[in-house]
Structure 1
């Protein structure tokens, strides 16, 4: 009687991230797909995102973070480069023993990690397993260090504080058997899946595609977020959203109400977040809908215009739904994204200080009726569909598993 072929055990894939919407959300559909394929997936995350992670079928591995929470005032992150990076390093150092304990006796076969999840790379090194970065925004290109990183870090590196930061980072890595320079450790992964469309990547022709693979938007159906119904009789729908962090902008929202409120045939859906009191907007016209939160992708599938802060997630959702955009960036990579969207011919970049009601209205009317903008959006949308999204990301992750688990 022939010996039965043993059934391979499910692979254990561990994902690591921080408690921030823009870092967790892009990974969720990839995690859901891996679970659906029969893998055991754990997801190391602070408690604020445990429920969202569990909804994918993954097992949350909880740890305590010292970073500002997802609904914290943006001022909690500081205003200088060293403010930001010191927070992430301090959090990584205190998180590592927590995570090592959480995975004691349960080491994974493969590590997935957000770009900010430094302990994940340390643990992958300790366990001797492959590590793959899931990047929710742009990645380094050949020449990035000379063109961007070195000028940006020149002044901080000359300060005592900057030198102390690098000394602490290097000492932590060396304690864990890693000899890489902190810059390479943080910014140059061995393998990375890029969860943005290639169209949003600066100098895409200079990105090393043996390391970085652009899989584009991994959005899923988002049914759990709910639906939104376009009002009957609305000829044009404009969504205004500054994302989940930089939402305390009542003055900007009032300009939007003035720009689109009462505009014949238009409906304005205004997401203001949880830190702005709707009363601060004054009396709004009947064609203005004010919400603290909306199911953004569901709205964009029906919208004619998107006024956005140009975060990586929102930018790619605008492209995936072929929605013209007015980009009003608020911080960090959003300024570069806004410039990229404008260079693609699908958006107009308006600095916040110049985003008056008159400018917003004039720009909106020009964008939504421009056939060249519509053509470029359809072209980019088609290109994004070919990047593969969630299924291709899962295929590439499985390809990195040990041979006996594929």
Structure 2
């Protein structure tokens, strides 16, 4: 920044999901360190995590499945997936109006899933900046992805009712924008993933979207991890925090890696699988319901991941070869990008047998070209700016939106 920015009240809004909260925490911590008063609207499950950044949590009641909910709670169809976000937004908005009455912010930051944030920014007459933890729309996205995906649901009575309800809610709040544009086309967005992970990056409007890359911090508060003595190779298996009920897949991983001489397997199984479901676990296999992922990846030789945006960029940031086993949503696209970058092999869940996992692992772990590509991408990520650049750009939006 060329001139200091006067401290302000910045309000962040998100949902109770690790993949939506974690990517922005270091940015929030940096804004607090720069002297800004930051409030953070979040359901109670994340209050402690938010408070640790120095921001003041503003708890609200959410109707969305919580961070430890059974994955089946999200349903199986597109409308099953999107309707809960609209339902939650409608019921959360009055809570947030009351919570901020008389303490309206100078700037709104929001996760891509926080619809009330953009409504509130419109009502308060302040700028809103999206902090996107995943890929963003490119020129042509609607025609290439959204329209084919929505073609059938839009023909149904349920689909038409969803759009009518969304549009009516926006209209009641003075917004005439179409629901699709409202949800997917922010006026300004900071993208918290490396540009290397963005499909069709050359067609992204950089007047709206700025890639600042990973904002990871040191994660020291999550604890450390020590590579075992004598481990020639370390492989981490993690399907993130949501789609973890996969005991058959975990058993395949044990069979794939347990017999490889000198290999140590760190197997994160989440909270929905009983370790007893894995059967006999040999020495050299470490089973956890949760691990400090970044700490493990800094010492790992291979990462078997669901290819969520957070895990994918952590694999790139630590230059760790990956086997991508996507489970849902944007993970399939991320897996395809990782494979196209030459740093991963993609296996769909049904293909992820012990033999296929072992074959992919042995091909990736000692491939000098994979290592070269990872180092190249890692170096590029270091120049994207990360946390400090994100905070600078937020302060620029703040300065543009009010008299100095």
Cα offset, 1:283, TM superposition = 1.1
Cα offset, 1:405, TM superposition = 7.3
1:113 is matched with 110
Match status 1:347 vs 2:344: yes
Match status 1:22 vs 2:19: yes
* Equivalent position SS for 1:243: coil
Whether the aligned pair in 1 keeps the contact of 2:191 and 2:212 (CA below 8 Å) is yes
Cα offset, 1:310, TM superposition = 0.3
* Equivalent position SS for 2:398: coil
Cα offset, 1:332, TM superposition = 1.0
Whether the aligned pair in 2 keeps the contact of 1:262 and 1:287 (CA below 8 Å) is no
1:208 is matched with 205
Whether the aligned pair in 2 keeps the contact of 1:11 and 1:405 (CA below 8 Å) is no
Cα offset, 1:144, TM superposition = 0.5
2:172 is matched with 175
Match status 1:375 vs 2:352: no
Question: Where do 1:85-234 residues align within 5 Å?
Answer: 85-234=82-231
* Equivalent position SS for 2:369: helix
Match status 1:47 vs 2:44: yes
Cα offset, 1:10, TM superposition = 2.4
CA separation in 1, counterparts of 2:207 and 2:242?
34
CA separation in 1, counterparts of 2:175 and 2:359?
54
CA separation in 2, counterparts of 1:391 and 1:313?
19
CA separation in 2, counterparts of 1:333 and 1:270?
23
1:57 is matched with 54
Whether the aligned pair in 2 keeps the contact of 1:10 and 1:405 (CA below 8 Å) is no
Cα offset, 1:362, TM superposition = 1.1
Q: List per-residue Cα deviations over 1:382-402 (Å, max 9, x = no partner).
A: 111110000000000000113
CA separation in 2, counterparts of 1:87 and 1:159?
18
CA separation in 2, counterparts of 1:265 and 1:26?
34
CA separation in 1, counterparts of 2:362 and 2:202?
34
2:390 is matched with 393
2:29 is matched with 32
CA separation in 2, counterparts of 1:61 and 1:10?
19
CA separation in 2, counterparts of 1:74 and 1:185?
27
1:3 is matched with none
1:328 is matched with 325
CA separation in 1, counterparts of 2:242 and 2:288?
15
CA separation in 2, counterparts of 1:191 and 1:271?
36
1:247 is matched with 244
CA separation in 2, counterparts of 1:47 and 1:341?
34
CA separation in 1, counterparts of 2:141 and 2:329?
16
Aligned residues: 400
2:7 is matched with 10
1:4 is matched with none
Instruction: Give ranges in structure 2 of 5+ residues lacking alignment.
Output: none
Cα offset, 1:9, TM superposition = 6.0
Task: Call closer, same or farther: CA 1:65–1:109 in 2, change over 3 Å.
Answer: same
Cα offset, 1:262, TM superposition = 2.7
Whether the aligned pair in 1 keeps the contact of 2:5 and 2:399 (CA below 8 Å) is no
* Equivalent position SS for 1:264: coil
Question: Where do 1:267-346 residues align within 5 Å?
Answer: 267-346=264-343
Cα offset, 1:8, TM superposition = 8.4
Instruction: Give ranges in structure 1 of 5+ residues lacking alignment.
Output: 1-6
TM-score, length-scaled by structure 1? 0.97
1:259 is matched with 256
